[in-house]
């Protein structure tokens, strides 16, 4: 091999015209190989783009023996002349001069042979599915969205605030936490009353994986002004649905001096920014996913960024649902926690736009939300999206110590003194929300199942890889 600096497939295709006529060095995995006894064509992919680079092997220069292990899934290193392509489907191709095979992939054993494996099958081999076109596209879009999120907040002067993953409090109060313990489950230490003695546990008390970084985020916001978290979140709810994961990533901005309207403005601007970013930076991947899975995807994405979201109180939403004449699987009445079918009716059929539903009954929302003057509803906001349902949940927070304390007592929550100090000392109006990262990736990729937008999904009865 000559001493030529390696280029990625993305670079070569992007600068094909300038590079044509020069020698290139490229490395990657073989997607397919076809041809005849004179010439063989290899589609090479290195993950830098959905597009493959065509490598042409002239069989007067390479023997069958040399090419034998160049099969689907094998990894190779090629040097050759970049030339304008005569064939259809690519502008440039490499006329191979040197070949090195790094790793073979026995065609009898490599699971990704055929085109068009089902997504269910690929879920069973999630350790290999990043090598498929579909998952390559999804994972590049996922990366772009993560980057867009940091960029959006950084450009706005928000600080990335790291909240703990191990916690002793339950933010959402839903009781869906995974416990963290080093106690010997076969031989638990007991208190005199016969209960588990957590004072003997690692942290000297019961601890769990976090369901949300919000409570700690509020401590950040009431010091730094505007913060956001972006990290893994764990929920042990037994929801075997295409929209729930047991381990997912959440983005939680929290802003001092923001009221609910400011919070809604930020949520709308934020989510539109992320979708726009993907449209601008992931055009090839989105086009691939649209072609193979969801023809309406680009249109749906553009529609969301171009239209104002509807803002509607929960009470109005329930009235629309009651008057719809629609037979829902779950009954709808004031006070009910809306099901996905209700949310999607409002978004997909009634308004045909994303909806921000506000002012929910306090009984169905978390303890920290600000009570409205009616004494019945809280200043909550859920952003509802086509195909997804709830993508964001947030609220203005109760900043009044007495009201917050009363709600905490009513619900019998304990161990909240540290949180209440934000209301004891220099309390301010503040607001925030949580965006489920995988639900955003689901929306932007047009995939149907949330298990297909995270590299290694965790859900009930599944903890592979």
**Footprint of ligand 4AD on this chain (CB under 6 A)?**
171-172, 212, 214, 235, 244-245, 248, 250, 252, 390-395, 432-434, 436, 438-439
28 binds Mg ion (CB under 5 A): no
Q: How far apart are CA 23 and CA 30, in angstroms?
A: 20
Query: Of 289 and 321, which has the nearer Cβ to Mg ion?
Result: 321
Strands 179-180 and 166-167: unpaired
Query: Of 393 and 432, which has the nearer Cβ to Mg ion?
Result: 393
Query: Of 132 and 212, which has the nearer Cβ to ligand 4AD?
Result: 212
Query: Of 7 and 244, which has the nearer Cβ to Mg ion?
Result: 244
Q: What are phi and psi of 88, to 5 degrees?
A: -85, 155
Specify whether the CB–CB gap between 430 and 254 falls below 8 A. yes
Query: Of 236 and 287, which has the nearer Cβ to ligand 4AD?
Result: 236
- For the CB of residue 414, give the shortest distance to ligand 4AD in the complex, in Å: 19
- For the CB of residue 396, give the shortest distance to ligand 4AD in the complex, in Å: 10
Q: How far apart are CA 423 and CA 402, in angstroms?
A: 9
- For the CB of residue 433, give the shortest distance to Mg ion in the complex, in Å: 10
Specify whether the CB–CB gap between 353 and 307 falls below 8 A. yes
Q: How far apart are CA 393 and CA 386, in angstroms?
A: 15
Q: Which stretch binds Mg ion (CB under 5 A): 55-63, 110-118, 390-398, 447-455?
A: 390-398
Query: Of 28 and 393, which has the nearer Cβ to Mg ion?
Result: 393
Query: Of 92 and 366, which has the nearer Cβ to ligand 4AD?
Result: 366
Q: Which stretch binds Mg ion (CB under 5 A): 26-34, 259-267, 392-400, 424-432?
A: 392-400
Strand partners, 99: 78
Q: Which stretch binds Mg ion (CB under 5 A): 143-151, 220-228, 245-253, 391-399?
A: 391-399
389 binds Mg ion (CB under 5 A): no
For helices 283-292 and 297-306, give the axis angle rounded to 10 degrees.
130
Strands 247-256 and 355-361: unpaired
Radius of gyration over alpha carbons of the chain, in Å?
Answer: 27
Q: What is the DSSP string of 60-107?
A: TTS-HHHHTT--TT-EEEEEEEEEE-SSTT-SEEEEEEEEEEEE---T
User: What does 394 interact with, of ligand 4AD, Mg ion, none (CB < 5 to 8 A by kind)?
Assistant: ligand 4AD
- For the CB of residue 177, give the shortest distance to ligand 4AD in the complex, in Å: 12
- For the CB of residue 369, give the shortest distance to ligand 4AD in the complex, in Å: 9
Cα dihedral 163/169/173/179 (nearest 10): 100
Specify whether the CB–CB gap between 294 and 387 falls below 8 A. no
User: What does 24 interact with, of Mg ion, ligand 4AD, none (CB < 5 to 8 A by kind)?
Assistant: none
User: Which x/- pattern over 44-73 shows residues binding Mg ion (rule: CB under 5 A)?
Assistant: ------------------------------
Query: Of 50 and 171, which has the nearer Cβ to Mg ion?
Result: 171
Largest CA distance in the chain: 86
Q: How far apart are CA 141 and CA 427, in angstroms?
A: 39
Q: How far apart are CA 183 and CA 201, in angstroms?
A: 6
- For the CB of residue 274, give the shortest distance to ligand 4AD in the complex, in Å: 13
- The count of residues in the chain is 465
User: What does 436 interact with, of ligand 4AD, Mg ion, none (CB < 5 to 8 A by kind)?
Assistant: ligand 4AD
Q: How far apart are CA 433 and CA 274, in angstroms?
A: 16
393 binds Mg ion (CB under 5 A): yes
| C-beta atoms surrounding 316 within 10 Å | 13
Q: How far apart are CA 209 and CA 234, in angstroms?
A: 6
- For the CB of residue 439, give the shortest distance to ligand 4AD in the complex, in Å: 4
Query: Of 217 and 393, which has the nearer Cβ to Mg ion?
Result: 393
- For the CB of residue 430, give the shortest distance to Mg ion in the complex, in Å: 18
- For the CB of residue 174, give the shortest distance to Mg ion in the complex, in Å: 9
**Residues near Mg ion (CB under 5 A):** 393
């Amino acid at each position: 091999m000559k001493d030529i600096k390696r280029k990625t497939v993305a670079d070569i295709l992007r600068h094909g015209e300038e590079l044509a006529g020069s020698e290139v060095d490229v490395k990657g995995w073989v997607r397919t190989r076809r041809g005849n006894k004179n010439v063989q064509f290899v589609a090479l992919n290195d993950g830098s783009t959905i597009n493959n680079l065509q490598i042409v092997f002239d069989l007067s220069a390479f023997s069958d023996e040399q090419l034998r292990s160049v099969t689907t899934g094998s990894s190779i290193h090629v040097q050759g002349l970049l030339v304008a392509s005569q064939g259809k489907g690519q502008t440039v191709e490499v006329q191979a001069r040197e070949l090195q095979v790094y790793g073979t992939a026995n065609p009898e054993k490599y699971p990704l042979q055929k085109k068009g494996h089902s997504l269910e099958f690929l879920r069973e081999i999630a350790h290999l599915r990043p090598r498929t076109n579909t998952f390559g596209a999804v994972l590049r879009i996922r990366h772009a969205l993560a980057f867009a999120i940091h960029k959006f907040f950084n450009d706005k002067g928000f600080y990335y605030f790291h909240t703990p993953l191990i916690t002793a409090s339950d933010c959402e109060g839903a009781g869906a936490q995974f416990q963290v313990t080093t106690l010997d489950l076969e031989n638990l230490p007991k208190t005199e009353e016969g209960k588990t003695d957590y004072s003997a546990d690692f942290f000297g008390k019961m601890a769990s994986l976090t369901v949300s970084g919000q409570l700690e985020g509020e401590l950040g916001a009431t010091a730094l002004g505007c913060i956001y978290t972006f990290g893994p979140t764990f929920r042990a709810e037994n929801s075997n649905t295409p929209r729930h994961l047991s381990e997912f990533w959440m983005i939680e901005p929290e802003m001092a001096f923001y009221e609910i309207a400011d919070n809604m403005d930020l949520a709308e601007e934020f989510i539109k920014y992320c979708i726009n970013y993907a449209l601008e930076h992931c055009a090839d991947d989105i086009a691939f996913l649209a072609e193979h899975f969801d023809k309406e995807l680009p249109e749906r994405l553009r529609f969301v960024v171009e239209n104002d979201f509807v803002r509607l109180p929960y009470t109005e939403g329930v009235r629309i649902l009651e008057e719809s004449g629609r037979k829902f699987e779950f009954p709808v009445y004031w006070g009910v926690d809306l099901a996905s079918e209700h949310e999607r009716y409002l978004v997909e059929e009634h308004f045909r736009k994303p909806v921000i539903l506000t002012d929910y009954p306090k009984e169905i929302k978390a303890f920290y939300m600000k009570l409205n003057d009616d004494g019945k509803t809280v200043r909550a906001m859920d952003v509802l999206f086509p195909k997804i349902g709830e993508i964001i949940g947030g609220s203005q927070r109760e900043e009044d110590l007495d009201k917050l304390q009363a709600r905490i007592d009513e619900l019998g929550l304990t161990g909240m003194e540290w949180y209440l100090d934000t209301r004891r000392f220099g309390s301010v109006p503040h607001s925030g929300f949580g965006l489920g990262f995988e639900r955003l990736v689901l929306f932007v990729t047009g995939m149907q199942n949330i298990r297909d937008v995270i590299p290694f999904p965790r859900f009930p009865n599944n903890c592979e890889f």
